């Protein structure tokens, strides 16, 4: 039985994608991860967060309907904000121009998507959770937003 040995591959930086070397020395690199693909990762993350939150809200609303009022005014607001956030994040991925990784329009759509997500989370927290949870989430999001505003 013969054993095969793996070639001694050089270490790469985190985020770089490379081809395995072939027998010839002319094997090109695939390249490093670009800003455009990073944006697609963020868009996918936003869409999955939105989907998870919508599922959680549906469970919360249906559990509450068994014990109390069927619907609160904030239920529609929260659902609408999260759906708008999901649509904006998915439109960002679809409308993205690969040659121009970050256009002002795309960045504005991403910011609006994140804003709708955060406002929806805070609205949901203030409507459904105790005061301590709501205040904590609000303080955390305000600190993050203030930090982001002054960092760049």
pLDDT tens-place string over residues 118-152: 999 999 999 888 999 999 999 999 998 888 888 86
Which residues are within 8 A (CB) of 43 and not within 5 positions of it... i.e. 6 or more apart? 89, 90, 92, 93, 110
Give kind and range of the element (H or E) at residue 129.
none
Structure tokens at 109: 């759509």
Give the residue from 112, 135, 114 showing the smallest Cα distance to 125.
135
Q: How far apart are CA 31 and CA 84, in angstroms?
A: 34
pLDDT score at 96: 77
* End-to-end Cα separation, the chain, in angstroms: 60
Give kind and range of the element (H or E) at residue 17.
strand 16-17
Give the residue from 117, 152, 151 showing the smallest Cα distance to 137.
117
Output 135 or 13, whichever has higher pLDDT. 135
Q: Record the pTM.
A: 0.68
Report yes or no: 44 and 110 within 8 Å, Cβ to Cβ.
no
Report yes or no: 2 and 10 within 8 Å, Cβ to Cβ.
no
pLDDT score at 142: 92
pLDDT band at 72 (very low <50, low <70, confident <90, very high): confident
């Amino acid at each position: 039985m013969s054993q095969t040995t793996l070639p001694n591959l050089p270490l790469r930086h985190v985020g770089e994608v490379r081809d395995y070397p072939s027998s010839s020395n002319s094997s090109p690199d695939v390249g490093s991860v670009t800003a455009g693909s990073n944006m697609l990762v963020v868009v996918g993350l936003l869409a999955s967060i939105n989907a998870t939150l919508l599922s959680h809200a549906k469970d919360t609303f249906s559990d509450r309907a068994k014990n109390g009022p069927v619907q609160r005014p904030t239920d529609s607001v929260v659902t609408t904000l999260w759906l708008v956030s999901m649509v904006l994040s998915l439109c960002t991925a679809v409308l993205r121009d690969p040659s121009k990784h970050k256009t002002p329009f795309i960045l504005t759509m991403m910011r609006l998507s994140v804003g709708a997500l955060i406002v929806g989370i805070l609205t949901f927290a203030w409507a459904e959770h105790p005061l301590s949870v709501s205040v904590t989430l609000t303080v955390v999001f305000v600190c993050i937003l203030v930090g982001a505003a002054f960092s760049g």
